[in-house]
Amino acid sequence: YIWNAFNIEVICTTVLVMLVLCTKTARLAPSKSGFLALIGVVFTILGLTQTAGYSGACFNPAVAIA
Residue 1 three-state SS = coil
Cα 34 to Cα 53: distance, rounded to the nearest angstrom: 31
pLDDT of residue 59: 67
pTM of the model: 0.66
In the chain, % of residues over pLDDT 70 = 71
Q: What is the mean pLDDT of residues 33-47?
A: 80
